[in-house]
Copies of this chain bind each other. A is one copy, B any other.
Amino acid sequence: MARVVVDVMLKPEILDPQGQAVANALPRLGVTDVSSVRIGRRIEIEFAGEADLDRAREIADKLLANPVIEDFDIRVAEDA
């Protein structure tokens, strides 16, 4: 068993209204030192055998991320 983690985030130039909504709510919690909040997805892919990064990249490319507006990053999880 090996786990690969895929982090999918909006590209920096794409507006993130969901993150903006969280950032706008922070002053009400008394938080004033946060300059931005960005919200993306974290996907954990559990392989039955060895972790296969090339395979995970293919899955991310075809099923998990929209390459027009999102970037993704792939790594083997340290704890698995």
Contacts and interface: CB of A to CB of B under 8 A. Distances in A.
- Give the interface residue-count category, chain A: 20 to 34
Please state the number of chain copies in the assembly: 2
Nearest to A42: B42
A1 interface: yes
B39 A43 contact: yes
A39 to B, nearest CB: 5
A67 interface: no
Closest 3 CB pairs of A and B: A42-B42, A36-B46, A38-B44
30 contacts: A8-B42, A9-B44, A22-B43, A22-B59, A22-B63, A26-B59, A26-B63, A29-B58, A29-B59, A29-B63, A31-B55, A33-B52, A33-B55, A34-B46, A34-B47, A34-B48, A34-B55, A34-B59, A35-B48, A36-B45, A36-B46, A37-B43, A37-B44, A37-B45, A38-B44, A38-B46, A39-B41, A39-B42, A40-B41, A40-B43
